[in-house]
Amino acid sequence: KSFADEFRVGIYADVGTGKTIMAIALHKYKRASRGSRALVIMPPILLHQWAATLRKTGEDSIVIYAGTPAQRKALSLDAEWILVAMEIFKLDFERIYTELDPHRLTVIVDEAVSIKNPESENHKSLHDFIFHSLLLAQSRRKRKAQKKAVKEKSQKLSATAESKKAALLKALGGK
């Protein structure tokens, strides 16, 4: 059994040891054997760095899922590699979950320390995404209830983000 055949894999290494290249190679193996796509969740500062590294490895089907809500809505998620910041992942949880086939998806989290705390919204969102993707056989009623729960989670995360934004603007003297 290969390292890449495992359900979950962690790459723990020091800065500069090639974790990004290892993750890319891992996904390329999974894609070749199962036809999966990759969703890479990371800090926003790494989006363009990841895209550049992917291009250096011959990848060209890349979407950097970022921008304003209108810009993100206009983006197609039909790519081999979808790169997204954690905050945008949480804000657009419902769309990402609905449009990507989680059963044929490799999820990579760069800077996984952002999901370390099980009480954090980052951890809960990623857990919900992966947990829901594992429910392979469901009745239509369960699926509908699950979609409703995902939508409610997305709305809650959006409301939380908006209230944090408003508080920050207020603290900075804005309206």
Whole-structure pTM value: 0.67
Q: How many CB atoms lie within 10 A of CB 117?
A: 11
Question: How far apart, in Å, are the Cα atoms of 61 and each of 48, 64, 104, 130, 160?
Answer: 14, 10, 16, 23, 32
Q: Report the share of the chain in percent with pLDDT over 70.
A: 69
- pLDDT at res. 15: 74
Residues 6 or more apart whose CB falls under 8 angstroms from that of 167 comprise none
Query: Sorting pLDDT into bands at 50, 70 and 90, what band is 138?
Result: very low
Measured in degrees and rounded to the nearest 5, phi and psi for residue 76 equal -90, 140
Measured CA to CA, the distance from residue 40 to residue 88 in angstroms comes to 12
Query: Sorting pLDDT into bands at 50, 70 and 90, what band is 3?
Result: low
Q: To 10 degrees, the CA torsion angle through 167, 168, 173, 175?
A: -60
Q: What share of the chain is helix, strand, coil (3-state, %, to 5)?
A: 60, 10, 30
Give the single-character DSSP code of 82. Answer: E
The b-or-e profile of 71-104 (16+ CB within 10 A means b, else e) is: ebeebebebbbbbbbbbbbbbbbbebbeebebee
- pLDDT at res. 133: 45
Residue 139 has pLDDT above 50, yes or no: no
What pLDDT, in 10s, does the model give residues 56-100? Answer: 999 999 999 999 999 999 999 999 999 999 899 889 988 988 888
Average pLDDT, rounded, for the chain? 76
